[in-house]
Amino acid sequence: MMGPNSVRILEELLSQCPLRLSPNDQILDLGCGKGLTSLVIAKETGAKVYANDLWINADENRRRFIEWEIDKQVIPVCEDANDLHFEKKQFSALVSIDSYHYFAGSKGFFENKIMPFIKDGGVVLIGVPGIKDEFEGRAAQILFDWLGEDSHMFKGPKVWKELIGNSDRIESVRTWEVDCFDKAWSEWLAVDNKFADSDRQYFDSIIRPYTCFVGIEIKLY
């Protein structure tokens, strides 16, 4: 894990928004980290998965995928989400867990940088850390001691819905606070990791009372 348990968040998204795909379909796992979510997506859907992450070297993930015996189904990629080089309308679905907030916090990003790669009728599932709706607009003030200058990346469910936009290709956008917040966080804070140690000291005072995980489901025409 590189943060709150991404598999828990993915599990909730897939339970609420099942992906009915075949081995001929392709999925982009955007911001896959060390590939845990890609492993689950591959096993749950049977589709071919492109596991993209900017911070984790593709060769490192490839070695993991070989060890996990999924290397024939999961392809590691290392590209910036702002400059992806896939084919237009290549993917039947896109999944992004605990990473979308790093690069997609501006209006127009989804429409210009992500949507071109999704097929007509495709689905996008995003799980992203955010601030609860009632505290929207106060992220910099509330979260600064924990996140510093990165506080601005945390947005409420309503704002994330607005940022996705209303392109003619978008059929629907749904956002909500995911239910597995406590479980995903507790499993991360139990890890012997310096970043988990840092988060642990802010969990009761900042993280639990003010933040959430935002689920986002986007359906395209």
Per-domain residue ranges for the chain? Answer: 6-131+154-192+212-220
**Dihedral angle of Cα 162, 164, 166, 169, to the nearest 10 degrees:** -170
State residue 2's pLDDT score. Answer: 86
- CATH C-level class of 6-131+154-192+212-220: alpha beta
List, for residues 110-149, the tens digit of each pLDDT value: 999 999 999 999 999 999 999 999 999 999 999 999 999 9
For 83-99, the DSSP string reads S--PPTT-EEEEEEES-
Alpha-carbon gap, residue 205 to 209, rounded angstroms: 7
List, for residues 43-59, the tens digit of each pLDDT value: 999 999 999 999 999 99
Q: Is 121 helix (H, G, I), strand (E, B) or coil?
A: strand
List, for residues 76-103, the tens digit of each pLDDT value: 999 999 999 999 999 999 999 999 999 9
Ramachandran angles phi, psi of 211, nearest 5°? -110, 170
List, for residues 149-181, the tens digit of each pLDDT value: 999 999 999 999 999 999 999 999 999 999 999
Task: Identify which of 41, 39, 47 has the alpha carbon closest to the alpha carbon of residue 70.
Answer: 39
Asked if pLDDT for residue 1 goes beyond 90, the answer is no
Return the structure tokens found at 213: 């995980």
Residue with tokens 């928004």: 17
Asked if residues 187 and 1 have their Cβ atoms less than 8 Å apart, the reply is yes
